[in-house]
Structure 1
Amino acid sequence: MNSLLKSIEIIETIAQQQPIGVSELSKLLKMPKSSVQRVLMTFQEAGWLRQAGTESTRWEIGARVVGVRPSALKGGALQKAARQPMQDLCDLVDETVHLSIPDGTTAMVLIEETECKQVVRTAYTIGNVSPFHATANGLAVLAHMSDTQIDTILGRDLPKYGENTINDPALIREELMRIRERGYSVNLGQYRHAIYAIGAPVFDSNGIVVASVCFSMPGSRFNPENIDEWGSAVRRTANEISGGSLA
């Protein structure tokens, strides 16, 4: 039983800290590296974990998460309400559009994607897990969470994924205020290098944030002069989804 609990703890820690290496996991969990490595390889074979696309071996949650959350991740009212607005946004900006939901205060989970027709484009696997503090979808949701939830998320160790990552809680709180004022979030290569994104929150009929929609692009196509126009477009899309079949 202790072995099982430790394995679950490894999964939960990766979800919170991803991408993370074996040495970091070993220190955080006070476990031998050899034991951590065995668990990682087992979960990788089962599809629960995968190696992140980095130079060093680091780990992140795999797409198997989709299989254990069928009601939230497959064909629900949220996706049905989102598909046409997402397609309309994709046609407008000619970039890939993503819909994500919060997994409690752990991470954001991608549940729907509409790919653009660009030769070079961004694309992720359904079920992909990403952090709140470094993504457009995550920041859009985080800005509208309760104070307790925000304190929980920002009270953790917030990884830096690159030189553009903002992981100072005070600076993130300032950005959350700006997101609430303008209605959309911006990710300027803060999570994946040279990937930029604009996002907006989706609310249920009670005004509770339940998801976020964003579109992302390679940095080569990002034009800062278009941010307000893009932000208005993604905000309209989020409002349309909120007013769909979420009542």
Structure 2
Amino acid sequence: MSTIAKAMHLLNTLADMRMEPGLTDIAIASGMDKATTRRMLVELSRFGFVEQDATTRRYRLGSAPVRLSRIREQRYPFASVVAPFARALVEATGETVHVSEPAGEKLATVHVEMSDYTHRVMIDAGQLLPFHATASGLAFLSTLAPDELETMLSAPLAAFTQTTLVSVDMLRERLNEGRKRGYCTSEGDYEQGVMSAAAAIVDGRGMARGTIAVAGPAMRVDRAKLEEFGAHAAETARQIERALWGTQKTGQDRHGRTEWTTTERSKIRTTSRS
């Protein structure tokens, strides 16, 4: 693992820890030895990515990621644009809605609108989601060209519940269904008792910028309701695309399109570079 990879791993580990941890806690959670962990923390602190409480000596995320996030949102607005659409989707479905963007090997939740129900699905802003085990991840994967998809599915697929798809062939079938419908669903694949439906938000070049998903508890959301949520998510995704890129037709035609071909993707990339 490279030095940069170790630093990013350490930041993600710290972000996932609920309480402000000490050095030993971070080392154990990250799987790195204490000496390496301390050296990484010192360097990350120098640039504001990590802070250490002077009294307790415990660590927390610094302000540098916030600064970078604000600069990115100002230059490439996304979360601020999707927020009103997410709120409208909560009103239409009654369930929790969350928007995600790709972040390396996972999706990162960038905006959440909670359901008004007392018993609801809880999702944290910044939460990382696996591609193969969530409706959001499947919706994103469904937009990829065949060669890109093979790369994404080359590593072993982790099982989070008894229903998580770990067979690549079965996953391909699920993605083909999602392409035809314009949305993907998950029935307890990542967390038992959670039903979710998601659609990809695609730009005019056919590249997935993110996803929007509806998630509710299985006690209230059956399969028919889930398909209804999927249709709502797909329509909302198209509205977001028009708001972001000002076009009635985006790079992915959700009406009957089954997959991107390698030739089509190549043409898109050639055009975008010219």
TM bin, normalised by shorter chain, reads 0.7 to 0.9
Deviation at 1:157, TM superposition (A): 1.8
1:132 counterpart residue number: 131
1:173 counterpart residue number: 172
Tell me if 1:77 matches 2:91: no
- Separation of aligned partners in 2, 1:156 and 1:116: 35
- Separation of aligned partners in 2, 1:103 and 1:67: 17
- Structure 1 contact 94–117 (Cα < 8 Å) conserved: yes
2:19 counterpart residue number: none
- Separation of aligned partners in 1, 2:97 and 2:200: 14
2:215 counterpart residue number: 216
Larger RCO, structures 1/2 (Cα 8 Å, 6+ apart) = 1
Larger radius of gyration: 2
- Separation of aligned partners in 1, 2:223 and 2:206: 30
Distance change (3 Å), C-alpha of 1:13 and 1:113: closer
SS in 2 for 1:171: helix
1:91 counterpart residue number: 91
Tell me if 1:151 matches 2:158: no
1:230 counterpart residue number: 229
Give 5+ residue unaligned stretches, structure 1: 15-21, 49-63
- Structure 1 contact 73–111 (Cα < 8 Å) conserved: no
- Separation of aligned partners in 1, 2:97 and 2:119: 14
- Separation of aligned partners in 2, 1:171 and 1:132: 14
Tell me if 1:193 matches 2:192: yes
Identity %: 22
Tell me if 1:101 matches 2:115: no
- Separation of aligned partners in 2, 1:6 and 1:102: 17
Distance change (3 Å), C-alpha of 1:67 and 1:145: farther
AA paired with 2:240? Answer: I
- Separation of aligned partners in 1, 2:2 and 2:106: 25
- Separation of aligned partners in 2, 1:187 and 1:41: 37
- Structure 2 contact 95–216 (Cα < 8 Å) conserved: yes
2:122 counterpart residue number: 123
Query: RMSD of aligned C-alpha atoms?
Result: 3.5
- Structure 1 contact 96–113 (Cα < 8 Å) conserved: yes
Deviation at 1:93, TM superposition (A): 0.8
- Structure 2 contact 185–197 (Cα < 8 Å) conserved: yes
- Separation of aligned partners in 2, 1:3 and 1:108: 22
Indicate the larger mover: 39-48 or 178-187.
39-48
AA paired with 1:157? Answer: P
- Separation of aligned partners in 1, 2:95 and 2:69: 27
- Separation of aligned partners in 2, 1:41 and 1:194: 38
Distance change (3 Å), C-alpha of 1:13 and 1:47: closer
SS in 1 for 2:244: coil
